[in-house]
């Protein structure tokens, strides 16, 4: 249903959509007074998104005072200059400075953005962390520099499966191990995945691989050091134990090589 505009709403003559070129951004950006120090990591982060084509039309306006001073949006303007990319944004001209507006805003978290995008307040932060581990793969490369626009296509593909698996093995189950289980669930049958989950929660002690899983689970429980190398070991152990369970083996060899038995499904992104 289309939202109706209230009768007391008044159009703003000073609000316009503007294609902000690097030249225009440089011109406006040279007129910044009494503003916060420029945070270069934020500028470079925005510039990266712009170069990737992930910066859409912004409804958060850039504000310019009557004398052309930038009151809000200096980081976006600097990012346009660095990236060399033209963006389209709302711009309010003749704006008046208001510290309550410009200096006390809070950035949305990834969880906030995901819940808003999917209109689903039940999405958990654990699901996003597992998603990052899924993308990181067996090398466990950090994914914290990815923006929401980069992660959302992966969540559309993997999100529901991640949620289902967390519900089966519990939120306390290791994030990296859950990532392996998520990827494996697209390669193995539902029965094999359920067998592994049942062994994790100790529902099937008569399974041929129950001894392997008990040993693995005890080892996993002791992994308190969350360094990158440790995550790689967890990834390796989990995929080979899971592979052994899928074959009903009573023994499992963990080779020293770093391979990915269950590769990332890239076709969706």
What's the mean pLDDT in 147-168? 95
Mean pLDDT, rounded, for 24-33: 85
In-domain check, residue 96: yes
Q: In whole angstroms, what separates CA 210 from the centre of its chain?
A: 34
What's 32's DSSP letter? Answer: -
Percent pLDDT > 90 in the chain is: 60
Q: How far is CA 121 from CA 49, 111, 239, in A?
A: 26, 9, 31
DSSP string, 102-154: HSS--PPPHHHHHHHHHT-TT--HHHHHHHHHHHHGGGT---TT--HHHHHHH
pLDDT band of residue 125 (cuts 50, 70, 90) is: very high
* Statement to judge: residues 97 and 144 lie in one domain: no
Q: Is residue 265 part of a domain?
A: no
Most confident of 33-42, 112-121, 145-154: 145-154
Domain limit, last residue, from 79, 102, 125: 102
Which residue range forms the structural domain that includes residue 115? Answer: 110-246
Total number of domains in the chain: 2
The answer to whether the beta carbons of residues 241 and 253 sit under 8 Å apart is no
Q: What's the confidence (pLDDT) of residue 44?
A: 94
Q: Render pLDDT for 173-183 as a digit per residue (tens, 0 to 9).
A: 999 999 999 99
Above 70 in pLDDT, residue 81? yes
Residue 154 neighbours by CB under 8 Å, 6+ apart:
131, 134, 135, 268, 269
Q: Specify the higher pLDDT residue, 133 or 109.
A: 133
Q: Is residue 46 part of a domain?
A: yes
Parallel, antiparallel, or unpaired for β 87-92 and 15-20? antiparallel
Closest-CA residue to 156 (of 112, 116, 117)? 117
Q: State the pairing for strand pair 70-72/58-64.
A: antiparallel
Among 69, 102, 135, residue at a domain's last position:
102
The pLDDT confidence band at residue 98, using thresholds 50, 70 and 90, is low
Phi–psi pair at 39, nearest 5 degrees:
-95, 100
Average pLDDT over residues 53-65: 86
* pLDDT higher than threshold 70 for residue 97: no
User: Is 3 contained in some domain?
Assistant: no
The answer to whether the predicted template modeling score (pTM) of the entire model surpasses 0.75 is: no
Q: Is residue 260 part of a domain?
A: no
Whether residues 190 and 214 fall in one domain: yes
Least confident of 1-15, 71-85, 122-136, 226-240: 1-15
Query: Which phi and psi (to 5°) does residue 137 adopt?
Result: 70, -165
Strand order in the sheet with 58-64: 15-20, 87-92, 58-64, 70-72
Report the percentage of the chain scoring pLDDT > 70.
91
Helices (H) and strands (E) in the chain, counts: 11, 4
Q: Which of 44, 69, 102 is the last residue of a domain?
A: 102
Q: Give a yes or no: residue 1 inside a domain.
A: no
| Integer angstrom CA distances of residue 25 from 31, 36, 88, 90, 141 | 10, 18, 11, 13, 34
Q: Residue 217: is its pLDDT beyond 50? A: yes
Phi and psi based region of residue 78 (left: phi greater than 0; alpha: psi -120 to 50; beta: remaining)? alpha
pLDDT classification of 159: cutoffs 50, 70, 90: very high
Token pair belonging to 89 = 């944004």
45-77 b/e (C-beta count within 10 Å ≥ 16 → b): ebbbbbeeeebeebeebbbbbeeebbbbbbbbb
Average pLDDT for residues 152-172, to the nearest whole number? 96
56 and 166 co-located in one domain: no
Q: Measuring CA to CA, how many Å separate 210 from each of 128, 201, 243?
A: 30, 11, 13
Q: How confident is the model at residue 95 (pLDDT cuts 50, 70, 90)?
A: confident
Q: Which of 170, 24, 186 is nearest to 91 (CA)?
A: 24
Q: Is the pLDDT reported for residue 61 higher than 60? A: yes
Q: Are 182 and 162 in contact (CB under 8 A)?
A: yes
pLDDT of residue 101: 47
Nearest of 13, 100, 29 to residue 62 by alpha carbon: 29
Instruction: Report the mean per-residue pLDDT for the chain.
Output: 88
């Amino acid at each position: 249903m289309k939202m109706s505009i209230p009768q007391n709403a008044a159009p703003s003559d000073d609000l316009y959509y503007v294609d902000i070129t690097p030249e225009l951004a440089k011109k406006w950006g040279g007129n910044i007074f009494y503003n916060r120090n420029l945070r270069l990591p934020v500028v470079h982060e925005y510039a990266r998104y712009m170069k990737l084509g992930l910066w859409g039309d912004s409804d958060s306006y850039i504000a310019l005072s009557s004398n052309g001073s930038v009151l809000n949006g200096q980081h976006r303007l600097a990012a346009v200059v660095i990236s060399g990319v033209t963006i389209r944004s709302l711009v309010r001209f003749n704006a008046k400075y208001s510290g309550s507006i410009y200096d006390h805003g809070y950035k949305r978290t990834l969880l906030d953005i995901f819940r808003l995008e999917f209109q689903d307040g039940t999405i958990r932060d654990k699901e996003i962390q597992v998603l990052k581990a899924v993308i990181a793969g067996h090398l466990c490369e950090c994914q914290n520099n990815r923006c929401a626009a980069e992660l959302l296509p992966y969540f559309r593909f993997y999100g529901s499966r991640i949620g289902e698996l967390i519900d089966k093995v519990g939120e306390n189950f290791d994030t990296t191990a859950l990532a392996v289980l998520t990827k494996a669930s697209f390669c193995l049958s539902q029965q094999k995945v359920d067998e592994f989950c049942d062994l994790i929660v100790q529902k099937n002690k008569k399974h041929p691989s129950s001894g392997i899983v008990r040993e693995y689970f005890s080892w996993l429980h002791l992994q308190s050091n969350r360094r990158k190398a440790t995550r790689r070991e967890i990834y390796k152990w989990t995929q080979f134990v899971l592979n052994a369970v899928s074959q009903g083996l009573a023994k499992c060899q963990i080779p020293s090589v770093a391979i990915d038995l269950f590769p990332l499904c890239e076709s969706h992104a």
